[in-house]
Amino acid sequence: MENGWSWEQKTLITEIIQGMELAKQLRAHLNTTSSVETRDMGGSTGQPQNAGFSAGVPESPISINGSPGSDGFDGSVKDNQGYNEASKKRKTTPRCADQVRVSTENGLEGQYDDGYSWRKYGQKDILGTKYPRSYYRCTHRNSQNCWATKQVQRSDEDPTVFEIKYRGTHNCAHGNQSIPSPEEQEKKQKNTNNNSQQQQSQQALF
């Protein structure tokens, strides 16, 4: 019963945080003002949370290789087994997601770490966007029923900004105790969201 509470609170907090972040960014913009701005976050946007910037994927678009001889594919063994057809459709899946904008310092390197472990399960190019969108899911999905997922997409105009969308709730204890609550109930979430626009000030392109 009270379970929903946490989620609601979390959502609220998240929203507040979002607002703060936005305000921060806005402030930064205002601060610089004058002339070209272009993100000058040379320290202004003190990001509280991003401590770990690990440069990992420099993004090399050049995918070498290109699947060399792997001809093993050919249609032979593929075929999907209809595993899930259970029938009960989840009502189009509840889609409540929080959008958070993370600005990485001039360097694109750095993946913003929110404290949870994510496993990438897909990447797709979205029409209209210059960069592909990555899909992540909690590593404990099977272990703790954490069906939380995250989507990350780079801004087309500002490669320094990453748009992170969180979908679902975290049930995993990620590092803290092990699954103390065996409750696996799936709570229905209602959409209470109303945030519609969040557009940031579009910066003038050069």
CB of 2 or CB of 74, closer to DNA: 74
Nearest residue to 15 (alpha-carbon basis) of 95, 137, 97: 97
Contact status: 1 vs DNA (CB under 7 A):
no
Pattern 105-134, DNA, x by CB under 7 A: ------------xxxxxxxxxxxx----x-
The contacts of residue 118 (CB under 8 Å, 6+ apart) are 136, 137, 138, 139, 150
Paired tokens of 7: 């989620």
Residue among 34, 35, 70, 177 that touches DNA (CB under 7 A):
70
For residue 17, the 8-state DSSP code is: H
As a dihedral over the C-alpha atoms of residue 78, residue 84, residue 86, residue 87, rounded to 10 degrees, the angle is -80
| Cβ pair 107, 154 in contact under 8 A | no
Residue among 14, 38, 50, 139 that touches DNA (CB under 7 A):
139
Contact status: 178 vs DNA (CB under 7 A):
no
Residue among 43, 58, 75, 115 that touches DNA (CB under 7 A):
75
Nearest residue to 150 (alpha-carbon basis) of 172, 133, 170, 167: 167
Distance in angstroms (rounded) separating the CA atoms of residues 102 and 21: 8
Give the binding range for DNA (CB under 7 A) out of 26-34, 36-44, 65-73, 179-187: 65-73
| Cβ pair 149, 136 in contact under 8 A | yes
Contact status: 149 vs DNA (CB under 7 A):
yes
Residues 4-63 touching DNA, rule: CB under 7 A, are: 57, 63
Residue among 25, 135, 152, 160 that touches DNA (CB under 7 A):
135
Distance in angstroms (rounded) separating the CA atoms of residues 40 and 46: 12
Contact status: 83 vs DNA (CB under 7 A):
yes
Nearest residue to 37 (alpha-carbon basis) of 47, 25, 19, 20: 25
Question: In angstroms, what is the minimal distance from the CB of 35 to DNA?
Answer: 35
CB of 2 or CB of 71, closer to DNA: 71
Distance in angstroms (rounded) separating the CA atoms of residues 20 and 15: 9
CB of 52 or CB of 122, closer to DNA: 122
Give the binding range for DNA (CB under 7 A) out of 28-36, 46-54, 70-78, 179-187: 70-78
Binding site for DNA (CB under 7 A): 57, 63, 66-67, 70, 72-73, 75, 77-78, 80, 83, 89, 92, 117-128, 133, 135, 137, 139, 149, 151, 167
